[in-house]
Chains A and B, each alone.
Chain A
Amino acid sequence: MPGIMEMFFNLDIMAQAWPLLLQGLWMTLRLCAVVIGLGLVGGLLLALAATSPRRWLSWPVMALIDLMRALPPLVLLIFVYSGMPFAGVEMSPFMAVAVAFLLNNSAYYAEVYRAGLQSVPAGQWEAARATGLSKGQMLGHVVIPQAVRNVLPDLLSNTIEVVKLTSLASVVSLSELLYQANMARSVTYNSSPLVMAAAVYLVLLWPMVRLVSRYQRKLAL
């Protein structure tokens, strides 16, 4: 069926659209770097606060984490981008997406870290405490390394979700991969750029998906 090849796998159109998609990919990667990088750090801090024995600290942080996980990320994004200007807070699309997804994503990372922290047996804390390590040294050298190791597949899974999440940024006209592909589609009256964008996501994420599977199988052994 030449029609389908023509409509979805048109190489000429793909070649034309490629520079546009490359720009989009670059934007997607920048967004991922910010949201994943800061999310990994922010999530750890939130998880440490959420597992703190100090209730005045842990309860508000738990509430924040719950709220951010319950809110659909698209709602959060549109609120930050289109709602906040009414309060005088105006942001560029990149900034708005980064803030919204960071809030959402830190909460998810925090839940993963929290499971990791709780998976470290109490005996590890006690052994560290009994040898005179300070709280910070215990966390940094004994507890956090084990916590991260125990939840590495989940951290990776969540990271994959973040990469996929960034395609929502097209809604606020951030020129990331999907937005650029959709632009190319409307200009060329052809769906091939969308197929190509999907292929780029696949190339980007498939190795990570495989890695997660292998890890999970190894941990199950």
Chain B
Amino acid sequence: MAQTPMLEITALEKRFGTVEVLRSINLKVGRGELVFVIGPSGSGKSTMLRCCNRLEEPTSGSIFIDGRNIVNCPAAELNRLRLQTGMVFQGFHLYPHMSVVRNVMLAQIKALKRNKVTARTRAMDMLDRVGLAHKADAMPSELSGGQQQRVAIARALALNPKVMLFDEPTSALDPELVGSVLKVMKDLRAEGMTMLVVSHEMAFAREAADRVVFMDGGVVVEQGPPEAIFGNPQHDRTRAFLSRVSHHAGAE
């Protein structure tokens, strides 16, 4: 192997009380790779993603980002380590009391200690990248869901993360707004960003993902290129899930 993977999860376990949510997860995401995680709800996908920037504390195991284990890092360093991962949430979570550009500037100034001019320039670049430079002075409540999610992506990108984590980024969007967010993700992939995506957008996964990971019951059941997972799944559980999802999509 020429390079260490950008993100490497080994033997990750997570328990909430007595409930085992993740059971020995192993997963690698190479540099510039777009990895899609699919699976039924309750399979632990989001929990795994949230462990990658320690919004959830792993019970045991290791998570390496660019070769560095973030699981046992001291609390004092945690805030700095979190800057290596950009997180995009299902519910956007923009700060409603700040304009769009201030949303993208805040952590640059407070966490990265950039000066205001640099932060604003960077913020405008990122907003331009997601096609929303003209909304810089709008308040989040004036934007559509798709626009809010693109601002959230810009907010994460502005901090120069090494990995972008997407937690069902399009699940809260009206169908006609999904495309604009997926396009931004596709652009990011073209620019070489490493991405780990939990999502139900199967068509997008088929088209844009380098690898698809199927999780169920807190374990990785199988993984492979999208053609293999969607075209020729090896496990019954994968087949059952995919047929449920496609029936569901067909019924809509």
Interface residues of A (CB under 8 A from B): 121, 123-124, 126-134, 137, 141-142, 145-146, 149
Contacts of B91 in A (CB 8 A): 121, 123
Q: Would you call B97 and A132 a contact (CB within 8 A)?
A: no
List B131-180 residues whose CB lies under 8 Å from chain A.
Answer: 152, 155-156, 159
**Docked complex Cα distance between A137 and B89 (Å):** 20
Known contacts A123-B89, A123-B91, A141-B106; A133/B97 CB under 8 A: no
Q: Would you call B106 and A131 a contact (CB within 8 A)?
A: yes
Residues 28-55 of B, flagged 1 when their CB comes within 8 A of A and 0 if not, give 0000000000000000000000000101
Q: Would you call A127 and B95 a contact (CB within 8 A)?
A: yes
**Docked complex Cα distance between A146 and B89 (Å):** 19
User: A127-B87, A132-B112, A146-B95 provided; 17 other pairs, C-beta below 8 A?
Assistant: A126-B55, A126-B89, A127-B94, A130-B55, A130-B89, A131-B82, A131-B87, A131-B155, A132-B79, A132-B82, A132-B83, A132-B107, A132-B159, A133-B111, A137-B111, A141-B106, A145-B97
What's the nearest-Cβ distance from chain B to residue A40, in Å? 19
Interface size class of B (residues with CB under 8 A): 20 to 34
Interface residue? B96 (CB, 8 A): yes
Q: Would you call B95 and A142 a contact (CB within 8 A)?
A: yes
Known contacts A141-B106, A149-B97; A129/B82 CB under 8 A: yes
Interface residues of B (CB under 8 A from A): 53, 55, 79-80, 82-83, 85-87, 89, 91, 93-97, 106-107, 110-112, 152, 155-156, 159
Q: Would you call B93 and A141 a contact (CB within 8 A)?
A: no
Contact of B93 among A123, A132, A134, A137 (CB under 8 A): A123
Which secondary structure dominates chain A's binding surface? helix
What's the nearest-Cβ distance from chain B to residue A90, in Å? 46
The closest CB in chain A to the CB of B95 belongs to: A142
Contacts of A129 in B (CB 8 A): 55, 82
Contact of A141 among B85, B96, B110, B155 (CB under 8 A): B110
What's the nearest-Cβ distance from chain B to residue A131, in Å? 4
Contacts of A142 in B (CB 8 A): 95, 106
Contacts of A133 in B (CB 8 A): 79, 106-107, 110-111
Known contacts A129-B55, A132-B80; A124/B107 CB under 8 A: no
The closest CB in chain B to the CB of A138 belongs to: B110
The closest CB in chain B to the CB of A135 belongs to: B79
What's the nearest-Cβ distance from chain B to residue A126, in Å? 6
**Docked complex Cα distance between A94 and B89 (Å):** 53
Q: Would you call B79 and A124 a contact (CB within 8 A)?
A: no
**Docked complex Cα distance between A133 and B78 (Å):** 10
What's the nearest-Cβ distance from chain A to residue B50, in Å? 8
**Docked complex Cα distance between A149 and B82 (Å):** 29
Among A121, A142, A149, chain B packs the most CB atoms within 10 A around the CB of: A142
Interface pairs A-B: 7 shortest CB-CB: A131-B107, A127-B93, A132-B111, A130-B87, A123-B93, A132-B83, A132-B82
What's the nearest-Cβ distance from chain A to residue B96, in Å? 7
